[in-house]
A and B are shown apart, each in its own frame.
Chain A
């Protein structure tokens, strides 16, 4: 029996918290899954969720977390790969959803934190505050397994699905505008070498 609820919309989804959900997601990663943290508060909360050698922290290149994750997923098809990104970021690179759909990596899951705002620059509204629905766009791009998380338990269930079932997946969570729980250390080469070593590539 599937616990996936396809009829949750952005409107009916509960308002969740990015720090909490990031911790819940990371707590489920027991098989050295790779995680690509998108720019800004997304990767601050990934950093704050605790050190993992399989985490990559993107410090610029806004919008490209999904593309980087796709590259990792294609290169290591036996490792599960998560891209974490915000609504403002993925709105900059919507084509990447179609690229993921066309490439169809079974081991890739995209998680979008949607607070309807460019929070880090002063909470200016993004398009999702005006009705743009990222899950609907993902489905339109060809990602059939794209879902809103109804609440925390449903988010957990969707992550479990992504960990055990064939992807690609997109999980979107409507989140509040709380600050992240930490700030990422900004040393790009250190981030890269730790990540590469963490996923079995000598750097």
Chain B
């Protein structure tokens, strides 16, 4: 039991929940907050990992893989989300593709770049206008329930979902 003495980080929980839901393809555009999660995923043979040049590509790859029978998730930062509106509106939503997106939220609660805070404010209005399911995780004890629920709902309702990682989860001291 001694290995249990160190509490699991949110990243380990995400990895465990992805595996539990057969999500084995991860595409990402890097982000500092996601770097530990990306490191864990890249070190794990369970996952196929592709790091394309743009978030749109990352969405396209996961969309194609889903149709061919492999479940995936796309990791990105808020500024990247602002670049995928067209692919969400013209591919993911109308074709009813259960693309799961995990966004590390930058631009709020201590941001130092004005542009990041402005782009951050565009994310929720876009999600709402597209009618896309989304939830921002703020607490460590929400991670397992929310990530699991968002993934399962995406695949059972044939609809995309966006899991937002609030700075309250990723930046606040434990």
Contacts and interface: CB of A to CB of B under 8 A. Distances in A.
Given A58-B91, A59-B94, A61-B86, A99 B68 contact: no
B53 A199 contact: no
B91 A74 contact: no
A61 B84 CA distance: 9
A60 B91 contact: yes
A41 B137 CA distance: 43
Contacts of A67: 52, 56-57, 59-61, 64
A200 B69 CA distance: 8
A99 B57 contact: yes
Given A64-B60, A64-B87, A68-B61, A76 B53 contact: no
A177 interface: no
Interface residues of A, number: 38
B159 to A, nearest CB: 12
Interface string B31-60: 000000000000000001010111011011
Interface string A141-176: 000000000000000000000000000000000000
B25 A74 contact: yes
Nearest to B96: A189
B57 A95 contact: yes
B53 A192 contact: no
B94 A75 contact: no
B65 interface: yes
Contacts of B62: 71
A127 B39 CA distance: 39
Nearest to A190: B95
Interface in B132-162: none
Contact of A68 (B53, B63, B89): B63
B69 A192 contact: no
B70 interface: yes
Per DSSP, chain A at the interface is helix
A138 to B, nearest CB: 14
Contacts of B48: 74
Given A60-B94, A71-B68, A99 B50 contact: yes
Interface in A33-68: 34, 36, 56, 58-64, 66-68
Interface string B67-108: 111101000000000000011011100111100000000000
Contacts of A64: 56-57, 59-60, 87, 91
Given A75-B69, A75-B70, A36 B64 contact: yes
Interface of A: 34, 36, 56, 58-64, 66-76, 79, 93, 95-96, 98-99, 103, 188-189, 191-192, 195-196, 199-201, 203
15 contacts: A60-B87, A60-B94, A61-B87, A64-B56, A64-B87, A70-B60, A70-B64, A74-B61, A74-B65, A98-B53, A99-B53, A103-B50, A195-B67, A199-B69, A201-B68
